[in-house]
Amino acid sequence: MQHPKIAVVGAGPAGLTAAIILSRHGWPVTVFEADAGARSRDQGGTLDLHPDDGQLALSKAGLLEEFWKIARHEDQGERVLDALTGKVLHEETPEPGQGNRPEIDRLALRDLLLSALKAQDVKWNAQVLSVVAHPAGGQGLQLDTGIVGPFDLVIGADGAWSRVRAALTEVLPVYSGVTFVELWLSNVDALHPDIAALVGRGTMFALHNGQGIIAQRNGGGAIRVYAAFHTTPEEGDRPDRTLARINKADLLRRFTGWAPSLCNLIERAERIAAVRPIVALPPGLGWTHQPHLTLVGDAAHVMPPLGTGVNLAMLDAAELAEALVTSEQWQSALVVWEKAMLRRAEILAQQTREGFAEMFSESGQASVLQHVNENVQTEMDTP
């Protein structure tokens, strides 16, 4: 039987997961990625993969064992600090071998996924401008070098600002009003032992009056910090542009009155890596089904970051690929999968929208404490 020819747009966690499962089943698949190479761009920080989604997807891709070997099991702690005093209000450190959400740096995850594909399966430096009808029939992809294809199915895994999505709906992500400025400190154990001790082995939150300082231990002794705040109307809905030149002094002014130990995370950072306006697609977004085109991950349902995004993106991709390769009639499988994916995303998008708004409200600290305490209670109740 001849398999359909698939194009995946985007070599992020979702796109690569889909490509691996399709190619393991002998389906011809090509990934088109805008980045010049696997390591050409700073991919951001650490991610925790959960058993029921991110890890499940890796298992379907045949990579769970390898992930388990390279994941950072020691960095699963969680701390909530008081923003004004720096005092620890909540702390959780799983015993060695106990946590089930180990961390992996984004670059290491990309490398792991790429290791399961052939080099020729991924076309780097291939920014897709739009999906077009191919002159020979079927779907084509417009690159700046010309049209490639034809393909029987295009899977848009090209993230929040997906170009593929434009062929399905005009809806665009909306700015939440909160921006995360990302800062990095490296070699913290040697250079900043006080900061290493403050953050601990995992994620640290401090929230106050709609603002936050969130820090995460990453691989290689680095700490990533998010200084998060509501922007002003004058700063507009593209603060990545209006605040592109923000410096540490500007940032510190926004955190006046915060505990000096927390302000240290900004003051001693080596660099501001990115200004990330938090955007989301409206919960319940859907589109009229098209038989040769679909979306996975952030392209389909970008949500505010509450630890779900990458897990859901990889699960979408693994389930889509599995549905296609195990069906008698892949077009029908696509319809069923897409409906289920959109329904699941609608529920989670609503939850993350509410959770994120609460986190960056005046009662953010209380709501995070309530959330972590509920989790501890659930774990204690689970035999």
- Residues near ligand FAD (CB under 6 A) are 9-15, 32-35, 47, 127-128, 157-159, 163, 180, 276, 297-299, 305, 307-311, 313
Instruction: Pick between residue 86 and residue 353 the one whose CB is nearest to ligand FAD.
Output: 353
Query: What would the 3-class secondary structure string for 40-66 be?
Result: CCCCCCEEECCCCCHHHHHHHCCCHHH
Helix (H, G, I), strand (E, B) or coil at 264: helix
Instruction: Pick between residue 86 and residue 92 the one whose CB is nearest to ligand FAD.
Output: 92
Output the smallest distance, CB 241 to ligand FAD, in A: 16
Instruction: Pick between residue 47 and residue 323 the one whose CB is nearest to ligand FAD.
Output: 47
The tokens for 20 are: 């691996």
Output the smallest distance, CB 85 to ligand FAD, in A: 26
Output the smallest distance, CB 274 to ligand FAD, in A: 8
Instruction: Pick between residue 84 and residue 111 the one whose CB is nearest to ligand FAD.
Output: 111
Output the smallest distance, CB 180 to ligand FAD, in A: 5
Q: Do the beta carbons of residue 3 and residue 304 sit within 8 Å? A: no
Instruction: Pick between residue 81 and residue 164 the one whose CB is nearest to ligand FAD.
Output: 164
Q: What is the DSSP string of 338-349?
A: HHHHHHHHHHHH
- What whole-number distance in Å separates Cα of residue 132 and Cα of residue 154? 11
Contact residues for 98 (Cβ-Cβ < 8 A; gap 6+):
none
Kindly report each contact of residues 231-237 with a partner whose C-beta sits within 8 Å and lies 24 or more positions away, as own/partner.
Answer: 231/177, 231/178, 231/179, 231/277, 237/175, 237/277
Instruction: Pick between residue 49 and residue 196 the one whose CB is nearest to ligand FAD.
Output: 49
Output the smallest distance, CB 56 to ligand FAD, in A: 14
Output the smallest distance, CB 383 to ligand FAD, in A: 28
- Cα angle 136, 138, 140; round to 5: 85
